[in-house]
Amino acid sequence: MDAFQELSDWLADWQGGTRADGEATRADVSATILAMAQACREISRLIETGPLAGAPDDGGHAAVVGENAGGDQQKALDLRAHDIVIEALKTAPVAVVGSEEADEPILLSEDAAIAVAVDPLDGSSNIDVNMSIGTIFSLLPHAAGKPQASLLRPGTEQLAAGYAIYGPMTELVLTLGSGTHVFVLDRHGHFRLTGSDLAIDPRTSEFAINASNYRHWDEAIRAYIDDCLSGAEGSRGRDFNMRWIGSLVAEASRILTRGGVFLYPGDQRRGYGEGRLRLVYEANPIALLIEQAGGAASTGAGRILDLVPDNLHQRVPLVFGSRGEVERVEHYTTDPHSIGDRSPLFGRRGLFRA
Ligand code: F6P
């Protein structure tokens, strides 16, 4: 393999004309990935310019311009990124696109082989503070005449999944269903392979959760976090570190690089019973990337990739990362006795509780 092989060459090597799942050929998958890479390149360039992309008083990329189907604020960059992705996918064999920024699926070419689910700009609360944000995508086989159903397949049927992260480097993290690989955008606009077959350490001492929601979580999640916070003196017998960036792609990149566990559980807040993240265009692609790197992705009660979505914008509780930690959360969630049995601290109040 060439050092720093270019994405198009890498895909050409993979291609070879054999069929992927369903009716889509590897050529269809490759062409769609290259179109997404083109969109990510454009979005990356746009982000780099920050406020310089517009007029001094137009509010920049972070200006609030509307609300999406899920009730989230839409920033100017959300919509710009959505438009860039749609234009790029028109050049690929894509039948339909399900985007976070559009209430309904967008039909492109009825006879084409691929359906794409996409979050064009993930982590948009980080735009104006110059922190990492991204684009997440999932490729599914398109069933002729069934654009909606094509997008509502379980994550196990994904042909490919990936995200771009716009951070100090722009990276494209990709799986075609066999291994998870990283490409870095160079100064000439080429994505070049910098890491193959990532492997997440099954054990970790780092967790990521929005701890401000502690009082809204159920007992199992509180117990898991209490145990991490108890550190060397608690049932885990070692100290844990915490990180929370508020950007799913940034948390995923950290976990793919050095292990860790991410949790966005359901909680008691209105509208958060199923957490915050979207199954079809956030949890499923991240879950495939994580599993292909040896990690696990769960609702806390079962595997993300086995869920059959019932709507494009459905939310799902998401726990992913180092396999041992994800299994521990599942254990606490699915077996109430495990919380009581877990430590001599049982019966004491949690560390955040009075
Ligand atoms: O897509 C939603 C998102 O921005 C994710 O990127 C991130 O993980 C999460 O929301 C942050 O949520 P909160 O602001 O509730 O911590």
Q: How far is the CA of 123 from the centre of ligand 1 (A)?
A: 6
> pLDDT digits over 103-139, tens only?
999 999 999 999 999 999 999 889 889 999 999 999 9
Beta strands across the sheet bearing 206-208:
241-242, 206-208, 261-264, 318-321, 296-298
Confidence check: pLDDT of 81 > 80: yes
Q: How far is the CA of 199 from the centre of ligand 1 (A)?
A: 25
pLDDT of residue 346: 44
Cα separation, 294 vs 290, in Å, equals 7
> pLDDT digits over 260-277, tens only?
999 999 999 999 999 999
Residue 251 CA: which ligand 1 atom is closest? 8
Using CB distances shorter than 6 Å, the residues near ligand 1 are 122-123, 125, 210, 246-248, 276-277, 282
Higher pLDDT, 1 or 288: 288
Residue 249 CA: which ligand 1 atom is closest? 6
Residue 262 CA: which ligand 1 atom is closest? 8
**Taking all residues of the chain, what is their mean pLDDT, rounded to a whole number?**
92
Known catalytic residues are: 72, 78, 100-101, 119, 121-122, 282
Q: How far is the CA of 249 from the centre of ligand 1 (A)?
A: 10
Cα separation, 194 vs 260, in Å, equals 21
pLDDT of residue 348: 45
Cα separation, 62 vs 77, in Å, equals 6
Task: Give yes or no for a contact between 190 and 240, defined as CB atoms under 8 angstroms apart.
Answer: no
Among 251, 264, 320, the mutation site with the greatest number of ligand 1 atoms within 8 A of its Cβ is: 264
Record the tokens describing residue 292, joined without a space: 């292909």
Cα separation, 99 vs 77, in Å, equals 14
Record the tokens describing residue 212, joined without a space: 């401000």
DSSP labels, 267-290: -SSTT-TT-SSBIIIIIHHHHHHH
pLDDT of residue 2: 60
Confidence check: pLDDT of 16 > 80: no
Residue 212 CA: which ligand 1 atom is closest? 16
Which residue lies with its CA nearest to atom 9 of ligand 1?
Answer: 246
Task: Give yes or no for a contact between 163 and 122, defined as CB atoms under 8 angstroms apart.
Answer: yes
Place of tokens 């198009």: 8
Q: Which is it for strands 191-195 and 181-185: parallel, antiparallel or unpaired?
A: antiparallel
Q: How far is the CA of 247 from the centre of ligand 1 (A)?
A: 6
Q: Residues, the chain, total?
A: 354
Cα separation, 149 vs 91, in Å, equals 23
pLDDT of residue 325: 97
Among 132, 248, 268, 278, the mutation site with the greatest number of ligand 1 atoms within 8 A of its Cβ is: 248
Which residues, including other chains, have CB under 8 Å from residue 5's CB and lie 6 or more apart?
A: 192, 193
DSSP letter (8 states) at residue 300: S
pLDDT of residue 18: 57
Question: Can you tell me the mean pLDDT for 280-290?
Answer: 98
> pLDDT digits over 238-257, tens only?
999 999 999 999 999 999 99
Which residue lies with its CA nearest to atom 3 of ligand 1?
Answer: 123
Q: How far is the CA of 243 from the centre of ligand 1 (A)?
A: 13
Confidence check: pLDDT of 306 > 70: yes
Q: How far is the CA of 252 from the centre of ligand 1 (A)?
A: 12
Q: How far is CA 5 from the centre of its chain?
A: 25
> pLDDT digits over 158-189, tens only?
999 999 999 999 999 999 999 999 999 999 99
Cβ atoms within 10 Å of 82's Cβ, excluding its own: 25
> pLDDT digits over 319-351, tens only?
999 999 999 999 999 998 888 766 554 444 454
DSSP letter (8 states) at residue 242: E
Cβ atoms within 10 Å of 84's Cβ, excluding its own: 21
Quick one: pLDDT band at residue 65, thresholds 50, 70, 90? confident
